[in-house]
Chains A and B, each alone.
Chain A
Amino acid sequence: MLRFGPAIGPVVIAAMPLFEEANRTRAFIVTVLRALADRGIASVLPDLPGTGESLIDTENASLNDWNIALSSLTENIGAERGAVHGIAVRGGALIDAPFASRWHFAPIPGESLVRDLLRTRLTGKDSADDAIELSGPPVELAGNRLSRTLLAQLKATVPVGTMPLRTVRLDSDTQAADRHVPGSPLWRRSEPDNDPALARLLADDIAAWIATCGG
């Protein structure tokens, strides 16, 4: 778990995208959090169970585990610091926790995420035709072994819509948002990349949002 920013004042918890997209966007997200720290906003970047440095195998992680872990972290930090705001990128927006406010960047329904993952089989040896049965061993998709329960849970989940919520998307994303910003989808690149200008723009947006939410 990484922590940035001052010891007092508003705190943000960041939920990264899921699976390989986290690896591709970690540097970018850290850049956003550092920019937030420059604006006097502290942040926490946890590794959810089964991700990053967590000791739990990915195949044993479920969406419920993530909801519980993020909620528990939110409550603990809330007890120290007061209001805790949530920011999430891509599939991170599917995870629920009792934040004072939410800010989403490029959120997607779990169904799209699972579809994306299943699509990685299209050009490989495995058949993409197999409907993923609910019972069975973990499925290897795009380098991660995932439990079928997690896949089913993700398929049934849409980005958390609890208000107050602000959604920002890229210009190339045709879905509705409070704001569209220029940039390319870093979570799509095979090599991790960064966009410091976009990171600063998003940090400004987050800071302004938190200020309006009484942060």
Chain B
Amino acid sequence: MSADEKFFAWLDGELSGAEAAEMEAKVASDPDLARLAEQHRALGGKLKIVFDQVAEAPVPKHLIETIRPPARVIDFQSAKEAREARRAWHPAAQWAAMAATLVLGFFAGTFTPRYDNAPVKVQDGAIYASASLNQALGSELASAPAAGPVRIGLTYRDQTGAICRTFTEAKSSGLACRNGARWQLHGLFPAPEGQGDAYRMAAGMDPNLATLVNSTIAGDPFGPAQEKAAQRRGWK
């Protein structure tokens, strides 16, 4: 350790015992060294004062929140819609949502709706339109509503190129897209409690269904002429 280093080590309290005592005596007997010690103490104090301003300033919120994120503010309506839209995509979860209205029964490892007029059936892990819904989706036009239990809403081509149609029936509304010769269900949303045929006739689309349409549609919904042409081409 050089003489300078020893002096500063003493100044910083790094020396102890005999070494510290020796340096202290040296500084006390040397006015230049004593003055230097004083100058450096003042410099250290000044550095502390200047940079302590930073330590004493309020800490930016984003730094605290990086360590401890604030409790997330939940937008219940958005959360519900997002949850239901996700559920709509997932056949198994979708069935859970439907259980209240469709009353499911289990038969030898597979399950089918026991409710006779259920609009859907399960096959190979996917949900398809049952005969009555299949018939309505294939033959009905929104521009020429039929008197049957199913009412067709929008028809459009989705981002995979398949033709999709929204529908409303007595107890639910949903989205079905053409898969080969069948209509595969991509979403089915139960009617609100206590609403039956009135629901079918209601003009407004279920918000969950609207979210699903918005997330899958490519381009605009078909107009009456496009809808009719698509029907003529066998919904291809």
Question: Are the chains A and B members of one assembly?
Answer: no
B contact set with A: CB distance below 8 Å: none
A contact set with B: CB distance below 8 Å: none
